[in-house]
Chain A
Amino acid sequence: MSLESAEAEGTTPARSSSGVGYLWYQLRRSPLTMVGLGIIVVVLFIMVAAPWIAPYNPDKLDLLHRLAAPSLAHFFGTDEVGRDIFSRVLWGARTSVTVGLAIVAISMGFGTVIGAFSGLVGGRVDTLIMRFMDVVLSFPSFVMAMALAAALGPNLINAMLAIAVVRIPFYVRLARGQALSLRSKPYVKAAMSFGAPRVQIMRRHIMPNAMAPIIVQATLDIGLAILTASALSFIGLGAQQPTAEWGAMVATGRDYLLDQWWYPTFPGLAILITAVGFNLLGDGLRDMFDPRMRGR
């Protein structure tokens, strides 16, 4: 018989520990993360399919059936002008979740670039950027967002921008911390020893390797962003009538809480469940990216 070659038996497996397959393997081992993922998949499906699955037009008034209790005709009841709350919650997913994702995308994008740059360059530039971020952070973030939204004018886009700006410093700090620790990695030192300019080091080495914790933070933030956007809508600085948006629905439904409990409760539950979903996924991702979990 012939001896098998060491090459065939001896090389390390070619499956990567960072690919999609690996993520899926890790997800399956954590039931809570799977629950979070399940919730998000359902929410995303609702966002896409709202026009087809919503039984009514969310803006259609039906003054004969105002403030109707949940029934087979209206699963979540109707509001003060007879709109179907179930349909509005489904449609509201489009607004609320999109807003959440957009906020996070904006704050993550800006925050990561600024933070990575700050950490890599160091010195006075770093101090300046970070002190400025401290100033932004020293305001209570909701009050700050309120002030910005009020100054820009009450509409959903402005509320979104306001919240995104307020969230930027968190990503700056995170990305800077990553950049600082990556800066001392031998492969970054090696790149420096080849004379690589900073921008190149940032693009080729810092950014790709810093992304894991930032993505985790972003996932955790989506829930918070949805909540904050809803809160701004709740106090009248975000989505305006008649847009179906969860926060705005809770705000108007608040007056009916005692007699028509279903009005604020269902949109409120939608916010809660979505936020929990993103948080569970975020927690799961954080555990997964923990270096001690690598390869397991």
Chain B
Amino acid sequence: MQAGTDSIVSVDDLSLVFPTYHGDVRALSGVTLDVRPGEIVGLVGESGSGKSVTAMSVIRLLPPGMARFTGGSLSLLGHDMLAIGERALEDIRGKDASMIFQEPMSALNPTIRIGKQIVQVIRQHEAISEAEAKKRAAALLGEMQVPDAARVMRNYPFELSGGMRQRVLIAMAFSCNPSVLICDEPTTALDVTVQAQVLALIRERARARGTAVLFITHDLAVVRQLCDRVYVMYAGRMVEEGRTADLLAHPLHPYTQALLRSLPELAEPKQPLAAIPGTVPALLTEIKGCAFRWRCAHAVARCTETPPFVSPGEAGHRAACWFAGEIAPPTPARSMPASVAAGEATSEALVRLEGVEVGFPLGRSWLGRPKAMVHALNGVDLEIRAGETLGIVGESGCGKSTLAEVVMALQKPSAGRITFDGVDLASLDTAALRTVRRNFQVVFQDPQSSLDPRMPVWRLITEPLYVAGERSSRKLKARAEELMRQVGLRADQIGRYPHEFSGGQRQRIAIARALALHPKLVVLDEPTSALDVSVQAQVLNILMELQASLGLTYLFISHNVAVVRHIADRVAVMYLGQVVELGTAAEVLDNPRHPYTRTLIGAVPKLSADTEIAAPAAVDLPSNVNLPEGCFFRERCAFKAAGCEKPQALAPWQESGHQVRCHRAAELPGWAQA
């Protein structure tokens, strides 16, 4: 084994359990991992795979009463981390090893100024004066490309954007020159353009300072962009390790292969995805043998014995599978039989928005007049055609969710007109509106929170029917059973509660609920972004099937460009409450003409690209309280020229239906990205 003195972090055969009410959860079973000086190591896995637990164990961040180490060893810079005392730990944390978390708001103290927080970290570990520490903090912020560092030092965390906060945390993490930086999904809560900036920053700074990085993520494309080496975890054990390019190009373990196959990036648009069947096993009982065998297409009797973690071919690339190297890696460009007929979109508009504006008052003066307005939507013209999937793409604050609320008649526009099947929604009284609303249903992002935890599934699914006046439990249950079957769940489980289902199953329940009243339009508000990749594939498949069989129209809102590219017929890109580009998915996402769309797509980490993505400049989104003059994207735009100070109109680019809100759309150079 290469594990030895040269490793900064060395985890060997580590096992850990969480004692719970249900019994001991075997969170880690014999995990082995090494981080060597100066390298960036990725740790990938789905939720519950044990990746965060592994990382937190490295600096012993798990509360002592909560977790129990049951075997193996763990060393950091030669310290035996399992035997070390609390005082020594405090010295190591922050100085030798520091950590960056997912949610930058909750990792900063909201009541202390940024500068002071950084100074505190520095002075905790080094005996230097306040003034010196301050100077160092300012220099650090500058190094992290924080504009106007002196001002930011005086700010409180809530005054900064998410991206800026994450930069502050990175500055803090680097403040004492740690040997290793542990990042736990540091970009998951950020928008893609900000994610690109933060990833570039971590990569550059780590390289420049020779800091080793252990980077935890669920996103294989991020790993591809950032990491030298990668470990793949499943059910609390390591299943594969290798150099990033090798591992992604020639995965050895069936799990890694299946995971890659289930990505929409690598599939033909609108075709069913190769989802991994089943769910991750519960870790309450000790699993002997391979933990993936129940979901594995290649499983045989021998898989009940624990496979060794070995390298079949080139050194450094190993997998815990009896057949490592024997199973053919997936072929990315598959042509699956078109079992799902693409939803035949008619050109008939089901919902039409004309010049829709929505503003929210921001505080009120004592006369009741709003002090300022948040302009959530600024003149949206859009039609949703019967039977199509219209994808809405944009970053947080662009008005996607407000658009959904307006379409569902949950939010009244402050200007403009919305018609459904030719009927103006504004002309309807409350009772008529309630009837019309039955045609619109919504599936929310997080099935965990969109299902009332205290209701059995049949009540949840039939809630729209109950609201509509159906009170007979027998009828409700019958409909619930029918809907359960429709979304691929077992009808005999309607008496269970949401927590007894996995994330993907819960999202199916939410979909079943949305279908209860036979709606025409289903708004899907980030329906897969809270789900793991393999489960995302299952849910996307079921959505496509249901659309084909029930003739549904989807409004699919997502920040995930790959998912939208896969499922949408047409795509609208939103920026600051406006549609900036509109056309078929292929037109908009494969050949973007608006500079913003290009920025957005360029920032998405790619699985295939060998080139590291260039980080877009660190600019915050303009405020939607004080709208910019002229083109809203002007300040961030690389193609700014005379004429941009005038308001732009959404105009057809060339003669097709592809519309772009940019007067230079035709002048932009061709788009050359895979």
Instruction: Determine which residue in B66, B277, B441, B453 has the highest number of CB atoms from chain A within 10 A of its CB, and name it.
Output: B453
Please name all residues of chain B whose beta carbon is closer than 8 Å to the beta carbon of A185 when the two chains form the complex.
449
Given contact pairs A12-B501, A16-B499, A296-B21, A186 touches B446 in the complex (Cβ within 8 A): yes
Q: How far is the CB of B462 from chain A (nearest CB, A)?
A: 10
Q: Are A194 and B301 interface neighbours, CB within 8 A?
A: no
Partner of A9, one of B281, B408, B437, B463: B281
Which A residue's beta carbon lies closest to that of B409? A193
Please name all residues of chain A whose beta carbon is closer than 8 Å to the beta carbon of B66 when the two chains form the complex.
296
Instruction: Determine which residue in B284, B452, B454 has the highest number of CB atoms from chain A within 10 A of its CB, and name it.
Output: B452
Please name all residues of chain B whose beta carbon is closer than 8 Å to the beta carbon of A57 when the two chains form the complex.
none
Q: How far is the CB of A209 from chain B (nearest CB, A)?
A: 6
Q: Are B408 and A193 interface neighbours, CB within 8 A?
A: yes
Partner of B455, one of A14, A186, A197, A204: A204
Question: How far, in angstroms, from A187 to B514 measured CA to CA in the complex?
Answer: 12
Question: How far, in angstroms, from A193 to B409 measured CA to CA in the complex?
Answer: 9
Q: Are A17 and B499 interface neighbours, CB within 8 A?
A: yes
Q: Are B454 and A295 interface neighbours, CB within 8 A?
A: no
Please name all residues of chain A whose beta carbon is closer than 8 Å to the beta carbon of B634 when the two chains form the complex.
none
Number of A-B contacts (CB under 8 A): 113
Which A residue's beta carbon lies closest to that of B450? A186
Question: How far, in angstroms, from A15 to B18 measured CA to CA in the complex?
Answer: 17
Question: How far, in angstroms, from A12 to B280 measured CA to CA in the complex?
Answer: 9
Question: How far, in angstroms, from A98 to B280 measured CA to CA in the complex?
Answer: 51
Please name all residues of chain A whose beta carbon is closer than 8 Å to the beta carbon of B20 when the two chains form the complex.
295-296
Which B residue's beta carbon lies closest to that of A5? B294
Give the top 8 A-B pairs by smallest Cβ distance, nearest first.
Answer: A6-B294, A6-B278, A186-B450, A194-B464, A196-B467, A187-B452, A194-B467, A186-B444
Check: A4 CB closer than 8 A to any chain B CB. Answer: yes
Q: Are A10 and B449 interface neighbours, CB within 8 A?
A: no
Beyond known contacts A194-B467, A196-B463, A196-B467: 15 more, CB 8 A cutoff: A3-B294, A3-B301, A5-B294, A7-B278, A11-B279, A11-B502, A22-B21, A187-B452, A193-B437, A194-B464, A197-B467, A204-B452, A205-B452, A208-B454, A296-B20
Given contact pairs A12-B500, A208-B454, A195 touches B21 in the complex (Cβ within 8 A): no
Question: How far, in angstroms, from A11 to B464 measured CA to CA in the complex?
Answer: 28
Q: Are A11 and B304 interface neighbours, CB within 8 A?
A: no
Q: Are B299 and A195 interface neighbours, CB within 8 A?
A: no
Q: How far is the CB of A293 from chain B (nearest CB, A)?
A: 10
Q: Are B21 and A209 interface neighbours, CB within 8 A?
A: no
Given contact pairs A190-B513, A296-B21, A14 touches B451 in the complex (Cβ within 8 A): no
Please name all residues of chain A whose beta carbon is closer than 8 Å to the beta carbon of B464 when the two chains form the complex.
194
Q: How far is the CB of B22 from chain A (nearest CB, A)?
A: 5
Check: A1 CB closer than 8 A to any chain B CB. Answer: yes
Please name all residues of chain B whose beta carbon is closer than 8 Å to the beta carbon of A194 when the two chains form the complex.
437, 441, 463-464, 467-468, 517
Check: A52 CB closer than 8 A to any chain B CB. Answer: no
Given contact pairs A193-B441, A209-B454, A296-B66, A10 touches B278 in the complex (Cβ within 8 A): yes
Question: Chain B 257-294, CB within 8 Å of chain A: the 1/0 string?
Answer: 00000000000000000000111111011010000011
Question: Chain B 16-28, CB within 8 Å of chain A: the 1/0 string?
Answer: 0010111000000
Question: Chain B 604-631, CB within 8 Å of chain A: the 1/0 string?
Answer: 0000000000000000000000000000
A-B CB contact pairs (8 Å), 26 listed? A3-B299, A3-B301, A5-B294, A6-B281, A9-B285, A9-B294, A11-B279, A11-B500, A12-B282, A12-B500, A12-B501, A12-B502, A13-B500, A26-B21, A185-B449, A186-B444, A189-B444, A190-B444, A193-B408, A193-B441, A194-B517, A196-B463, A295-B20, A296-B18, A296-B20, A296-B66
Q: How far is the CB of A183 from chain B (nearest CB, A)?
A: 13
Please name all residues of chain B whose beta carbon is closer than 8 Å to the beta carbon of A192 when the two chains form the complex.
410
Please name all residues of chain B whose beta carbon is closer than 8 Å to the beta carbon of A193 when the two chains form the complex.
408, 410, 437, 440-442
Please name all residues of chain A whose beta carbon is closer than 8 Å to the beta carbon of B440 when the two chains form the complex.
193
Partner of A187, one of B21, B22, B281, B451: B451
Check: A144 CB closer than 8 A to any chain B CB. Answer: no
Q: Are A6 and B437 interface neighbours, CB within 8 A?
A: no
Q: Are B454 and A9 interface neighbours, CB within 8 A?
A: no
Please name all residues of chain B whose beta carbon is closer than 8 Å to the beta carbon of A18 when the two chains form the complex.
453-454
Q: Are B453 and A15 interface neighbours, CB within 8 A?
A: no
Given contact pairs A6-B294, A191-B467, A14 touches B410 in the complex (Cβ within 8 A): no
Partner of A195, one of B22, B293, B434, B455: B434
Q: Are B449 and A187 interface neighbours, CB within 8 A?
A: yes
Check: A241 CB closer than 8 A to any chain B CB. Answer: no
Please name all residues of chain A whose beta carbon is closer than 8 Å to the beta carbon of B664 when the two chains form the complex.
none
Please name all residues of chain B whose beta carbon is closer than 8 Å to the beta carbon of A196 when the two chains form the complex.
463, 467
Q: Are B281 and A14 interface neighbours, CB within 8 A?
A: no
